[in-house]
Structure 1
């Protein structure tokens, strides 16, 4: 048997094991398959589309190519796990009394689940080839989507998310860099055609052009990565999205071939499917950590999460939430206080808003919260 035949046989075994572990997609790319990535990354950084994600600029040399992260890499094995939902997540946007959580975060943290399975595959690579292999799941400076495209798993759609003919826009991605040289798969051609549903549905116009994303306007960036107050121009557009935003993924026509898998159903946390805003507004730090143990939501912290919930409350037009929102006006954290000011001014009448301002503003020592109270124009009340 030639070395090429041996490697092909090993790949077939790896693919079979990956399938048994719950992976839906498997492909291989050469480590140097995307020489265009450094220029694309530099362009995005030069235009400041990364917002306050400073780590993108700090890791640019390692992020731009697999060899920059690990010079020993020769092949990249890309794997995808289908997390397609069992219902249309867009339907939850019309329920203002609940907090809408991105589909991927309604389950156990995929970083832990996928990484454990990748480590098993990487162990087989080491054992069968005698070559080193390293595992990466989202947290390392790896451009998984273009590498997955090069590995034939799918293509980066106009919304910049990987799209698969079989699984739509619902794939968790993981990468195995290895010093072993495997035969590469053919890259997947871009197959969006004239469709622009993902671009047109975006509530904040976050796409400067097809295949380009300005994170500074993206609700997923704003309610997860952005550390400060949600910019005023995007608060109404947030609606009830308290963690992430699935709009551009959910409208992709290729989703018609995706379906919820047994693995995802086992990982699902029903309590995160449609949590009531009233319950979330009551969370203190201890209860927040308890509720979101094993969830990616935990990493944004209590204050940032309550900021999001309060914006959703302000958009709800639900007067029953007013006492819970008012209770946050005296919160120790200014990020929470500021969001509570905006929310309460949206929910109560002018007389009540003025009374609250007179009660809280004189003792407020944070400039951003003072600005919320002192805004010349009250935010339009939610309808």
Structure 2
């Protein structure tokens, strides 16, 4: 008898997904307990939604008690090269690889809905679709399904795609035979931990988001402590240091999906140009990009921190122009950046 999973894997591949695997959504796991410890320690920072949704996030059935199977999909967004040398250009901004193309939520969601419809039609059972916007822990599900494992940097790591997989999940009330889970293959390597510019990992497999540049550049709304302003270097949206430093990336391939490939305008954009963005030009530059979510003010704050680290006296006029910005956080960042440039 044909395995119904094979039909769905072929359908997923036809929709552009690079991997499709199955896991139990109802069996117990320890991920919820680990998340509770993370929140209790305050390591989630200002991401209050993690605390308010903690109970629903603890297990897939806490959110939907009818869930029996998780179909976990992966879409490769590999850059095809090591992006970290770009950080050497201090007059340009560094945008995380995942955010250089179209917003992956929009790229994946429609395809997930199409596949979910096929699953519902074949099984006659309810389905629900998730792309990182609901209280579902995708990474533990992905490890349970065998897509990869959560490395010492807490991100999903794949033996065939390295650190570069977008995840989507379909929960189904139907029972499918689960695939074998993946085991951890980090060994004694600490490359990701050693690469972190802010020492955001208290221990292997643990993250303190309050020290993470991805959290600070994207989720944190206020003025940063000075130690992090200096440590961010030219990183203005996200940080790839722990991801890009992993030796498993040698097996990764460049993304074939054109919508997640990097736009030329978002690879090493000039800080002077970014500092001049008003709200309409910010929205125009980041159309369909996840960067647009943080808004112009928070983004320009990040740009100013990068300007303060640039040592580029040619950026002094761009910085002075923002000393009277309507936003107090932008003004504070401009004052700090100008002081650094003048001192240099």
Q: CA deviation at 1:10?
A: 2.0
For 2:204, the equivalent position in structure 1 comes to 210
Is 1:134–2:128 an aligned residue pair? Answer: yes
- The question of whether the paired residues in 1 share the 8 Å contact of 2:148 and 2:158 is answered with yes
The higher-RCO structure (CA 8 Å, 6+ apart) is 2
- Relative distance call for 1:275 and 1:292 in structure 2 (3 A) is same
Post-superposition Cα deviations, 1:142-173, rounded to whole Å, max 9, x if no partner, equal 11101100001100000000000000010000
Q: Matched residue of 1:189: which SS?
A: coil
Q: Partners of 1:53 and 1:265 in 2: how far apart?
A: 28
Q: Partners of 1:14 and 1:152 in 2: how far apart?
A: 16
- The question of whether the paired residues in 2 share the 8 Å contact of 1:206 and 1:218 is answered with yes
Deviating 4+ runs (over 3 angstroms): 264-268
Match of 1:160 among 154, 158, 161: 154
Of Structure 1 and Structure 2, the greater helix share is in 1
Q: CA deviation at 1:266?
A: 6.5
Is 1:333–2:327 an aligned residue pair? Answer: yes
Match of 1:52 among 28, 46, 54: 46
Q: CA deviation at 1:34?
A: 4.6
For 1:262, the equivalent position in structure 2 comes to 256
* Structure 1 residues not aligned, in runs of 5+: 350-380
Match of 1:99 among 65, 87, 93: 93
- The question of whether the paired residues in 1 share the 8 Å contact of 2:149 and 2:184 is answered with yes
Measured on the aligned residues, the alpha-carbon RMSD in Å equals: 1.1
Q: CA deviation at 1:348?
A: 1.1
Q: Matched residue of 2:65: which SS?
A: coil
Q: Partners of 2:32 and 2:285 in 1: how far apart?
A: 40
For 2:231, the equivalent position in structure 1 comes to 237
For 1:289, the equivalent position in structure 2 comes to 283
Is 1:274–2:287 an aligned residue pair? Answer: no
Q: Partners of 2:259 and 2:267 in 1: how far apart?
A: 12
Q: Partners of 2:119 and 2:45 in 1: how far apart?
A: 38
For 1:368, the equivalent position in structure 2 comes to none
Q: Partners of 2:64 and 2:325 in 1: how far apart?
A: 46
Q: Matched residue of 1:290: which SS?
A: helix
Q: CA deviation at 1:22?
A: 1.7
- The question of whether the paired residues in 2 share the 8 Å contact of 1:34 and 1:150 is answered with no
Q: CA deviation at 1:89?
A: 0.9
- The question of whether the paired residues in 1 share the 8 Å contact of 2:156 and 2:163 is answered with yes
- Please, what TM-score do these two structures have when normalized by structure 1? 0.88
- The question of whether the paired residues in 1 share the 8 Å contact of 2:20 and 2:71 is answered with yes
Q: Matched residue of 1:330: which SS?
A: coil
Structure 1, 338-347 or 257-266: larger mean CA deviation: 257-266
Q: When the two structures are aligned, how many residues end up with a matched partner?
A: 344
> 1:191-202 alignment to 2 at 5 Å?
191-202=185-196
* Structure 2 residues not aligned, in runs of 5+: none
Q: CA deviation at 1:129?
A: 0.6
- Relative distance call for 1:17 and 1:222 in structure 2 (3 A) is same
Q: CA deviation at 1:110?
A: 0.3
